[in-house]
Amino acid sequence: MKNLKRQWKFIVVLIAGAVGLISQFALHSKSLFSIGNLQFPVHAIIIDIIGILMAISLLLEIFHDWKTGRYGVDILAVIAVVSTILIGDVWAEWMILVMMTGGETLEDYATGQANKELRALLDKTPRIANKLVDGKITEVKVDDLQVGDTVLIKPGQQVPVDGQIVKGTSSFDQSSLTGESVPVTKNPGDELMSGSVNGDVAVEMKVTKAAKDSEYQSIVALVKSSQAQPAKFVKMADRYAIPFTVISLIIGGVAWAVSGDATRFAEVMVVASPCPLLIAAPVALVSGMSSMSAHHIIVKSGPTLEKLARAKTSAFDKTGTLTENQLIVDQVVTDDKSFDQKELQSLAASVEQQSSHVIASSLVKATDKDLIHPVTNLKETTAQGVEGDVDGKHVKVGKLSFVAPGHEKLNVTSTAVYVSVDGKFAGYITLKDKMRPESPKTIERLRRQGAEDIMMLTGDHKQVAEKVAKEAGITDVRSELLPSQKIQAIKDVPKHLRPVVITGDGVNDAPSLTAADVGIAMGAKGATAASESADAVIMVNDISKVNDAVAISKHTMKVANIDVLTAIGVVIIIELIAFTGVIPAFWGAILQEVVDMITISLGLLAKTKPSDKQFGLEEK
């Protein structure tokens, strides 16, 4: 709504100028009345009314900013508008209004399409549940479920609310909620979280929490809470506002005092209009955002580039971010000298080839096709494992208690499947998350780009998380975290290590992406809750784009700072010339346009390629 209001201001100013021109030149408007030496023709009245309304609107915004502790350069714009009204220089006034509202409109364009953070998350929220009443299925709204109701969750369905299994055993994919890369087997009596996805077997669940109190909805609430309490951030132009305003007012005040003519003050104020300062950063940011887009990175707002350029801490989710959300074979350990590693993997993969379980499909995918043989007498025991005959041998693959009772003391901390052949324990195969090949290099380059702390925030188990972190080159590991704990970890980052950037991809990452100073989502697989909650979205399946985002941001802000300082320097020089009285207000406004063109030209340099050092390709 605020962006729309600013656009209308710009349109109204342009219309007022067009009407004023028609009135003055086509209709030869005459003065309706005069006050002293001031004449008030129709076009002057029109533009003065718009100028007064704009000045009042700007004063209200300035007052609001002051209450929140922000001090900008807008006060100079108000002084310039009022000054031109008082000395009767209508077109100088209009030029200031054009650049003032035009700069705001450009800034709004640079901020892109923000405020859509919850759309995907809310669209994915379960709305209908299969309630069991006297053994019959009745479809009801999720919000109408009450504690104690019994719900049927069919294969592939999302759990609508938190509950407890009362009948059936199945595996549930909780990766988008907890970050666990492997589905978790749930038996009668086990708790289910809303938002997790059922596997291959229908189960009955007793509702333990109403929809508004369930896990999935609590994530939505966390996102809303994080949005309602955004991190404080001072825009770059505002950091220069106070010294520039003070210098300009001193020059104008001395000019008035020396000349004894208030017009001289107005002439300096017209030149001192902060339009170049207001335009410099947005033009550079628009250029930087365009450069980001060319590198397959969508940035939703200009301030994101400012914060990303100064980031001191980078945090990463594990599953689907540092890893590819795919398991690969880590170790094949044999317990029987009759089988070597290759044969053990061959037998296990042959039995698992018809299973849709993620561990089974990962094992089959990691095994040479020539080693996968036909299987007969295949039988699957729900949530336990599979068995069948391969090359005349009876092979069982699955949980240790199913495959080889009596070997339960075997301590394997990794994700593993166990194998027995003809009733004798033969060994086990461990699997691990497949690291993105570019992840270690990305972490190394981030350190070269100025990251002082890099941490992993994941809901997965400690042993799994630490293995991935070690391979990626991360020493600060936080594991087994719920979404609220991820947010707390971000809040606990000390001030000297901020801003904080976090990269993730799951539903459980949405709140932390919103809570961080900058949230980056891996959005190559389409719109997700994470990408909708993020400040930037990487549109290709390549985490090294985080390095590109940092490099482009640093380059953009370097260009923007040079642009702003150049604009300030040129404006102050023109102010000193206006001090002598040789620049009338109208020509002062024209000179402002020249400075604006210089500012825009410099800002466009942000589209040029960053240096290798900014990309993290050079040693420090």
Nearest to 125 by CA among 149, 146, 143: 143
CA–CA distance, 70 with 239 (Å, rounded to integer): 9
CA–CA distance, 332 with 299 (Å, rounded to integer): 44
- Tell me if residue 612 is catalytic: no
Give the count of beta carbons closer than 10 Å to the beta carbon of residue 159: 26
The alpha carbon dihedral of 170, 174, 180, 186 has a sign of negative
Q: Is the peptide bond before 499 cis (omega within 30 degrees of 0)?
A: yes
In the chain, the amino acid numbered 430 is T
Nearest to 176 by CA among 527, 590, 512, 459: 459
DSSP state of 213: G
Beta bridge mates, 477: 456
For 336-351, give one letter per residue: b (16+ CB within 10 A) or e: eeebeeebbbbbbbbb
Q: Which of 48, 74, 108, 317 does the annotation list as catalytic?
A: 317
Q: What are the two backbone dihedrals, phi and then psi, of residue 93, each rounded to the nearest 5 degrees?
A: -60, -45
Tokens at 433, concatenated: 């998350």
Element (H, E) at 487: helix 483-491
DSSP state of 618: S
CA–CA distance, 286 with 283 (Å, rounded to integer): 5
In the chain, the amino acid numbered 208 is T
Nearest to 510 by CA among 491, 496, 531: 531
CA–CA distance, 583 with 171 (Å, rounded to integer): 79
Q: 3-state DSSP: the chain helix, strand, coil percent, rounded to 5? A: 50, 20, 30
DSSP state of 131: E
- Judged by DSSP in three states, 111 sits in coil
β-strands 476-478, 453-457 pairing: parallel
CA–CA distance, 336 with 211 (Å, rounded to integer): 51
CA–CA distance, 614 with 456 (Å, rounded to integer): 23
What angle do the packed helices 341-352 and 358-365 form, to 10 degrees? 130
Beta bridge mates, 428: 333, 418
For 105-114, give one letter per residue: b (16+ CB within 10 A) or e: bbbbebbbee
Tokens at 437, concatenated: 């090949």
CA–CA distance, 133 with 137 (Å, rounded to integer): 6
Give the count of beta carbons closer than 10 Å to the beta carbon of residue 448: 16
The alpha carbon dihedral of 397, 403, 407, 413 has a sign of positive
Give the count of beta carbons closer than 10 Å to the beta carbon of residue 525: 11
Q: Which residues are catalytic?
A: 317
